[in-house]
Amino acid sequence: RVQLVESGGDSVQTGRSLRLSCTASGIVYNIFTMAWFRQPAGKEREGVAVVYSPRRPPLYADSVQGRSTIAQNGTEKMMTITLHMDNLRPEDTAMYYCAVAPGYRNLGTFGYNYWGQGTQVTVSS
């Protein structure tokens, strides 16, 4: 069974940076996608960034493009992905979730069948 453990969420002021981390273990897929999603209170979950194994260029949501970097390290036995976000804004406030899907997926939630518990990011002005 795939297990996902997220960390790094915090309360910060506008303009600061954060790095979120997610470690996945037990992945059995030869081809898979790992992604960060976020869900602001009362809103739908949205994709933030994805990485692939085997590697392909990552995808970023327009809302974080240019101020975020996603990185991956490891194998399907244990894979860690990090999301570094700069110049944080109040609209980045959300619960951030890590997820895994078989195959190559995009920023939509369809196909992701393993999810972490989430880590809260709060950005105050």
Question: pLDDT of 49-68, one tens digit each?
Answer: 999 999 999 999 999 999 99
88-99 average pLDDT score: 98
Over residues 13-29, the pLDDT tens digits come to 999 999 999 999 999 99
Q: Check the CA dihedral 69-19-111-90 and report its sign.
A: negative
Mean pLDDT, residues 90-112: 97
Q: Give the mean pLDDT of the chain.
A: 96
CA separation (Å) from 66 to 31, 61, 82? 27, 10, 16
User: Other CB atoms closer than 10 Å to residue 69's CB: what's the count?
Assistant: 15
Could you tell me if 119 and 9 are in contact, meaning their C-beta atoms sit under 8 angstroms apart?
yes
Please determine, for residue 77, whether its predicted confidence score (pLDDT) is greater than 90. Answer: no
**Residue 104 CA neighbour count, 13 Å, CB half:** 8
What letter does residue 46 receive in the DSSP assignment?
Answer: E
Work out the percent of the chain whose per-residue pLDDT is above 70: 100
β-pair type (119-124, 11-13): parallel
Is the pLDDT confidence value at 43 over 90?
A: yes
What mean pLDDT comes out for the span 65-79? Answer: 93
Residues 6+ apart with CB under 8 A from 43: 94
Centre a 10 Å sphere on the Cβ of residue 34 and count the other Cβ atoms it contains: 27
Q: Phi/psi zone of residue 66: left (φ > 0), alpha (ψ -120 to 50 degrees), beta?
A: left
